[in-house]
Structure 1
Amino acid sequence: MADPPEVKILLLGDADVGKTTFLSRISQGSASHSSKGPISLLRDNDQPFIFDISFFNRPYRFEFYDTSSPENWTLLKPDVIVLCYNISSRLSLINVQRAWRKETTTHFTSAKELPVLLLGLKRDLRSEEDPNGIIYPQEGYRIAQEMRCDRYMECSAVSGELVHEVFEDICRTAALGTKKEGGGLSEGGCGMM
């Protein structure tokens, strides 16, 4: 039996937007759906974070890379890029729009074919106390469309809300992108999870 295809998924975004916490929550398995107990954070030195999963009756090995530093990922050839921001920090979304999206097209010559997803993290911090700094789903989706992302998603690793669904959506997109036709789902626009 052949080894499962290795699919590289690169999470990009500012430091402290929640990328590591998201991957740490996923790595804790099915118990991660509840918010009981602390999240044991993964260490950057342990990358890639590997998950073996079957999609479409076929096994895959998903390798997740989490970074906020271009020096760490410019040599990587990802199959999917996930741009991450903190829902409670407008600056992190602005940085995704102005810097991170530009970085992907600068460093990856195949960026037009690469699926690019926009992920809002720390959904649990969305509150009515500071309506000017909070990004609501409609705005995140609109910005994902403007940036020509393939999908917009959001979740909370702390509460576990939508983590499983987002992880599954990322992996499904990555699996579809590895088919012979290639990736690049954004021809028709952006989908929302």
Structure 2
Amino acid sequence: MAFENDTVKKKLTFVGDDCCGKTSRLRTALLGLFPDTWTWILPKAVPFESVPGTYQCLVTTARGKETVVDLVLWDTAGAFEYGRLDPLKWMKVDVFIICFAIDSIPSLDEVEDTWLPKINHFNPVTPIILVGLRKDRRDQGQDSGKAGFVTSSMGEKVRSTIGAYKYVESSSLESEGVNQVLEHAAVVALLGPPRENPRKKRKTWLKRHVKCLIL
């Protein structure tokens, strides 16, 4: 699509466990197709996470100003890349998209245990959008594990705990919530607000709840 408005570029990095569905999510957003119907444009030897795609959104402010936001989408390779932490994908990010699989409660646990601490280390005030993938499996009762499904209330609770801007449930197969995630990302990347710095938040909590006892 082409717009004749002001244009800004914002960087989005998708993180989450391996096989939670985030790469399918990205491909669906960029190509409008579920992976079963993909036609490879790039050589398969070139990993998608090293070749970012661009998604364009039009954001209108409360005052009516329209701005085109070019979202540069970076994928990551889950646990394999977690050990390497490619700086190109983790630094100078405008919005992080933390993904988990709705049919895997352990992948939701990893949001707080693995991905949030790493984001906070490099980007303590960068906005976050929490995304539950594979919603269609919960809708159809296709449980891939023994622990059951992540409910909407569970996702919202984690969103509140980590201070994420939005929680969105998505299905790449059904194309549900696919564009909504990127539209939210465009708005928060352009207009804010940033997250509260967790380091400052911890210091405030300590001042309120911890008293020094001098013996």
- TM-score bracket, normalised by the shorter chain, equals 0.7 to 0.9
Is residue 136 of structure 1 aligned with residue 151 of structure 2?
A: yes
The one-letter code matched in structure 2 to 1:17 is C
Aligned length: 175
**Aligned equivalent of 1:48:** 52
Is residue 91 of structure 1 aligned with residue 90 of structure 2?
A: no
**Aligned equivalent of 1:125:** 137
**Mean Cα displacement is larger for which, 96-105 or 71-80?**
71-80
Moved over 6 A (4+): none
Normalised by the length of structure 1, the TM-score is 0.78
Greater Rg over alpha carbons, structure: 2
Superposed displacement of residue 129, structure 1: 6.0
**Aligned equivalent of 2:170:** 155
Q: Deviations over 1:17-62 (max 9, x none)?
A: 1111111111124xx5xx7x62457842552211233212112211
Q: CA separation of 1:51/1:117 partners in 2, compared to 1, >3 Å: closer, same or farther?
A: same
The one-letter code matched in structure 2 to 1:160 is S
**Aligned equivalent of 2:9:** 6
Asked whether the equivalents of residues 150 and 186 of structure 1 are also in contact (C-alpha less than 8 Å), the reply is: no
**Aligned equivalent of 1:190:** none
Superposed displacement of residue 123, structure 1: 0.7
Asked whether the equivalents of residues 14 and 99 of structure 2 are also in contact (C-alpha less than 8 Å), the reply is: yes
Superposed displacement of residue 3, structure 1: 7.5
Q: Deviations over 1:87-113 (max 9, x none)?
A: 1011111111101001111122xx22x
Asked whether the equivalents of residues 54 and 73 of structure 2 are also in contact (C-alpha less than 8 Å), the reply is: yes
Please point out which of 112, 118, 121 is paired with 1:106: 121
Asked whether the equivalents of residues 97 and 129 of structure 2 are also in contact (C-alpha less than 8 Å), the reply is: yes
Structure 1 unaligned runs (5+)?
A: 178-182, 188-193
Q: What is the distance in 1 between the residues matched to 2:142 and 2:18?
A: 24
Superposed displacement of residue 173, structure 1: 2.1
Asked whether the equivalents of residues 88 and 125 of structure 1 are also in contact (C-alpha less than 8 Å), the reply is: yes
Asked whether the equivalents of residues 115 and 186 of structure 1 are also in contact (C-alpha less than 8 Å), the reply is: no
Structure 2 unaligned runs (5+)?
A: 61-65, 198-215
Q: Deviations over 1:100-157 (max 9, x none)?
A: 001111122xx22x11111101111115465842101111001111122121111000
Please point out which of 24, 36, 60 is paired with 2:69: 60
Q: What is the distance in 1 between the residues matched to 2:86 and 2:169?
A: 23
Q: Deviations over 1:134-189 (max 9, x none)?
A: 10111100111112212111100011122222232222222223xxxxx41569xx
Asked whether the equivalents of residues 51 and 61 of structure 1 are also in contact (C-alpha less than 8 Å), the reply is: yes
Q: CA separation of 1:22/1:176 partners in 2, compared to 1, >3 Å: closer, same or farther?
A: same
Asked whether the equivalents of residues 10 and 189 of structure 2 are also in contact (C-alpha less than 8 Å), the reply is: yes
Asked whether the equivalents of residues 6 and 67 of structure 2 are also in contact (C-alpha less than 8 Å), the reply is: no
Asked whether the equivalents of residues 84 and 121 of structure 1 are also in contact (C-alpha less than 8 Å), the reply is: yes
Aligned identity (percent) is: 25
Normalised by the length of structure 2, the TM-score is 0.71
Secondary structure in structure 2 of the residue aligned to 1:4? strand
